[in-house]
Amino acid sequence: MGLDLDLAYIIRVLPLLLKGAVTTVELAVLAIIFGTLIGLVIALAKIAPYPLLNILGRIYTWVFRGIPLLVQLIFIYYALPAVGIEFTSFQAAVIGMSLCGGAYIAEIIRSGILSIDKGQMEAALSLGMTYAQAMRRVIIPQTYRRLIPPMGNEFISLTKDTALVSSIAMTELLRQAQLRAAADFKPMEMYFAAAVLYLVLTTFFTLVFSKLESKLALID
Amino acid sequence: MIHVSDLDKSFGQLHVLNNISLDIAPGEVIVIIGPSGSGKSTLLRCLNYLEVPDSGSIAIDGEILTLHTQDITRIRSKIGMVFQRFNLFPHMTVLENVIEGPLTVKKTARAEAVKKGEALLEKVGLADKRAARPSQLSGGQQQRVAIARALAMEPAIMLFDEPTSALDPELVGEVLVVMKALAKEGMTMVVVTHEMGFAREVADRVLFIDEGQILEEGSPEEFFRAPKNERAQAFLSKIL
């Protein structure tokens, strides 16, 4: 037994793994950007004073939060081509992760908006603002600082969830490790290195977000 | 200028406004008093439709209020409102708070809005606080900024919802001074307050409201000297 890692081997394949890690970060960043846009729209739909929008928002969350991300990814990549909708694995990965991330981010944004004192909306409306102006100028800007911690969590979740897209032929970090591990019969080295790289990524992002949080705290 | 007829409003089982009718003339200063929970704040909040009545109607300058977005935002922009808890925008500076309405609602040019905003801050005695955040101000200062913010829209009517109730006693005076000056300029004002001194000195008419009804109304002299209504008598004996 004994754990003797072939360090020289790890160093040799590291560039390959790093390439996978870059794809992982790209995916996570795109997913958080599109997910945030989707999340904002869904959050606004859910709290808007229009019942129809409320229902549409709830249906969105119900579907995309209720179906496992892995199933959504496989559906987008392997099932949609059957009805003529084809995506590259990268596109499918970004779409799937954004849609799913959007459902969670919508809840984050919604609770952020609901945490703002209702006197703020009243003051904005009493000046003659429309509901949309009040949201844009008064309510949403006040949520930014409160959104940073949960959005940081969500971003780290998304970073980890990118491992799921290895199942749709996307060669990100985990897939890269799988391929090499099988080819070289070095599962311990490859998966150990991959695990450490994930940890490095999530640690890095954790630090970035806590920095951002303290910076915004200073402004207020 | 304000014409209220047969206003009714309930929150669930609670009948807050019970068939209220009221006329307010231009330049008139109306003070509404009454026990807490009497419906006085709800009545005030109906006047700019922050609260929508169940039935009855409100007309401002002959125009009947509805929830139609374009109409209601235009009418609200002519009615300033000052809240008990100030409700300043905490993410903006004092000056930004004051010019926000003109910039966003009236699309006033920034330079012009700033000039008027500075003049208003001068008027409420806070010109030196233009760059401060609301959180750096005392309650009395915040409320004066809130008054300046409402005035920046150049409203024809000002509504005050217990403007001094959240203030420490020593800060009440500075807010009342601003309000008195405004009344003197001929602003049409509707003020819900517990400040009987203000009512006596500034009001053209005092309304006593309880259980959603106007039980007594009259000039402050009549009202404070010899209220006819029993509940008004009881209320005054407790408060004075």
Percent of chain B with pLDDT over 70: 100
Q: Tell me the nearest-neighbour CA distance from A128 into chain B, angstroms.
A: 4
Q: Taking 60 as the threshold, does the pLDDT of residue A1 lie above it?
A: no
* pLDDT tens, residue by residue, A20-41: 999 999 999 999 999 999 999 9
| Tokens encoding A195 | 């695990």
B104 and chain A: CB distance < 8 Å anywhere? yes
pLDDT of residue A216: 77
For residues B90 and A115, is the Cβ–Cβ distance under 8 A? no
The band of A4, judged by pLDDT with boundaries at 50, 70 and 90, is confident
The band of A218, judged by pLDDT with boundaries at 50, 70 and 90, is low
pLDDT of residue A194: 92
B105–A131 CB contact, under 8 Å: no
Token pair 């935002």: residue: B73
A127–B104 CB contact, under 8 Å: yes
Interface test with A, best of B89, B92, B162 (most A CBs within 10 A): B89
Percent of chain B with pLDDT over 90: 90
A138–B89 CB contact, under 8 Å: yes
State the count of interchain CB pairs (< 8 A) between A and B.
65
pLDDT of residue A213: 85
Interface test with A, best of B41, B42, B76 (most A CBs within 10 A): B76
Mean pLDDT of A204-209: 92
Q: Which of B176, B74, B88, B195 is nearest to B133 (CA)?
A: B88
Q: Taking 70 as the threshold, does the pLDDT of residue A3 lie above it?
A: no
Q: How far apart are CA B155 and CA B66, in angstroms?
A: 19
Cβ-based neighbours of B106, under 8 Å, separated by 6 or more: A128, B77, B153
The predicted model scores a pTM of 0.87
For residues B17 and B43, is the Cβ–Cβ distance under 8 A? yes
A129–B153 CB contact, under 8 Å: no
Q: Taking 70 as the threshold, does the pLDDT of residue B233 lie above it?
A: yes
B90 and chain A: CB distance < 8 Å anywhere? yes
A141–B91 CB contact, under 8 Å: yes
Interface of A with B in 139-168 (CB under 8 A): 141-142
Mean pLDDT of B21-29: 96
Rounded to two decimals, the ipTM of the complex is 0.94
Q: Tell me the nearest-neighbour CA distance from B226 into chain A, angstroms.
A: 37
Q: How far apart are CA B48 and CA A124, in angstroms?
A: 12
B50 and chain A: CB distance < 8 Å anywhere? yes
A131 and chain B: CB distance < 8 Å anywhere? yes
Contacting residues of B for A141, CB less than 8 Å apart: 91
| Tokens encoding A72 | 């959504």
A119–B83 CB contact, under 8 Å: yes
A129–B101 CB contact, under 8 Å: yes
Q: Taking 90 as the threshold, does the pLDDT of residue B37 lie above it?
A: no
pLDDT of residue A186: 87
Q: Tell me the nearest-neighbour CA distance from B195 into chain A, angstroms.
A: 23
B87–A119 CB contact, under 8 Å: yes
Contacting residues of B for A138, CB less than 8 Å apart: 89, 100
Q: What DSSP letter does each residue of B45-114 carry, written as one string?
A: HHTTTSS--SEEEEEETTEEP-S-HHHHHHHHTTEEEE-TT----TTS-HHHHHHHHIIIII---HHHHH
Token pair 């070289």: residue: A184
* pLDDT tens, residue by residue, B59-82: 999 899 998 888 999 999 999 999
pLDDT of residue A220: 54
Contacting residues of A for B74, CB less than 8 Å apart: 128
Q: Taking 90 as the threshold, does the pLDDT of residue A6 lie above it?
A: no
* pLDDT tens, residue by residue, B134-145: 999 999 999 999
* pLDDT tens, residue by residue, A41-83: 999 999 998 999 999 999 999 999 999 999 999 999 999 999 9
Q: Taking 90 as the threshold, does the pLDDT of residue A200 lie above it?
A: yes
Q: How far apart are CA B159 and CA B24, in angstroms?
A: 12
B100 and chain A: CB distance < 8 Å anywhere? yes
Give me the torsion for CA of B49, B51, B56, B58, rounded to 10°. Answer: -20
